Amino acid sequence: MENLNINWFPGHMAKTRRELQEKLKLIDLVIELRDARIPDSSANPMLNSLIGEKNKLIILCKSDMADPVQTKKFINEYEAGGAFALDVDLVGGKNCNLIKPYIKKASASIIERRQKKGIINKEIKIMVVGIPNVGKSTFINKIAGKKSLNTGNKPGVTKNSNIWIKINNEFLLLDTPGILWPKFESNDVALRLALCGSIKDELLPIRELTVFGIGYLKEYYPDLLKARYRLESLENTEDIIAEIGKNRGCLRKGGEIDYEKVYKAFLQDVKNAKIGAISYDRREG
């Protein structure tokens, strides 16, 4: 495949980057939300340079959609590197009761330093960051215990100015619009982000995206792919696409396969985890 050369840096994202740099001066703790299905691809490489030495907590969202074996490997890797990390399902509620305790764990060194200086009961100022459609607004609503922000299942819902939200008397949360990085380092990163709904489908050739997704599932989750589409064989990707079209009724008049419909149906299934709990970034061993 040719290099897709996708440049995804709309004006509001460039503005957000500048604002992040300014607001970080006020911040004690950064919570970075990543998609549990793509922990590598959904990690913004710009953030580490922006955050610097700030305390950080990594939250893997949508863990119900991800392969639990792979999620555990990523969590173990982060913790082995000295990071605080937690996987959550914000909709189903898995591990949501652990979010505040983990925030306290990640903030413990800050609180300890303050206590030594005689500073007590001061709120921890937290910045919540992440790529589009990772679940930032849902995350904040969950720990705030009320609907305080707009949420949506598509990239770019939160574009407004930064918003401070008070959580009890312990935390002040700063929400920020989702930002991606100026240019993707590889086709695979862009394709994985698109499969999980973090960038818009129309930025990528829909056929290439479908072929990539089916190829990945053939290699790592063949049983789930077979079961979802009642496939007889996984030998040839073109045959798989045609069989999906027949089994899903993606046909034109005369029984000809409507490939555009097949691509859209498959990609919708991937985004909504209809095929199963799948991780598109992985660790072997």
- pLDDT computed for residue 223 by the predictor: 97
Using only C-alpha atoms, the chain has a radius of gyration, in whole angstroms, of 21
Predicted confidence (pLDDT) per residue in 50-87, tens digit: 888 889 999 999 999 999 999 999 999 999 988 899 99
**7 DSSP β-pair partners:** 183
Lowest mean pLDDT among 9-13, 228-232, 280-284: 9-13
Q: How confident is the model at residue 274 (pLDDT cuts 50, 70, 90)?
A: very high
Mean pLDDT score, 190-194:
92
Predicted confidence (pLDDT) per residue in 117-138, tens digit: 998 888 899 988 888 889 988 8
State the first-to-last Cα distance of the chain, in angstroms, to the nearest integer: 28
Is a pLDDT exceeding 90 seen at residue 24?
Answer: no
**Cβ-count burial 162-180 (b if 16+ within 10 Å, e if not):** eeebebeebbbbbbbbbbb
Q: How confident is the model at residue 267 (pLDDT cuts 50, 70, 90)?
A: very high
pTM of full prediction above 0.85:
yes
The token pair at 83 is 């990071």
**30 DSSP β-pair partners:** 56, 127
Predicted confidence (pLDDT) per residue in 147-173, tens digit: 544 444 444 444 445 577 888 778 888
What's the sign of the alpha-carbon dihedral 28, 40, 14, 11?
negative
- pLDDT computed for residue 29 by the predictor: 93
SS (H, E, C) 227-265: HHHCCCCCCCHHHHHHHHHHHCCCECCCCCECHHHHHHH
- What is the amino acid identity at position 95? N
- pLDDT computed for residue 255 by the predictor: 87
**235 DSSP β-pair partners:** none
Residue 61 has a CB neighbour count (10 Å cut-off) of 26
CA 151 to chain centroid, in Å, comes to 14
Order of strands across the sheet that contains 124-130: 84-87, 55-61, 29-35, 124-130, 171-175, 163-167
The DSSP-derived string for 121-135 is SPPEEEEEEE-TTSS
Q: How far apart are CA 33 and CA 229, in angstroms?
A: 32
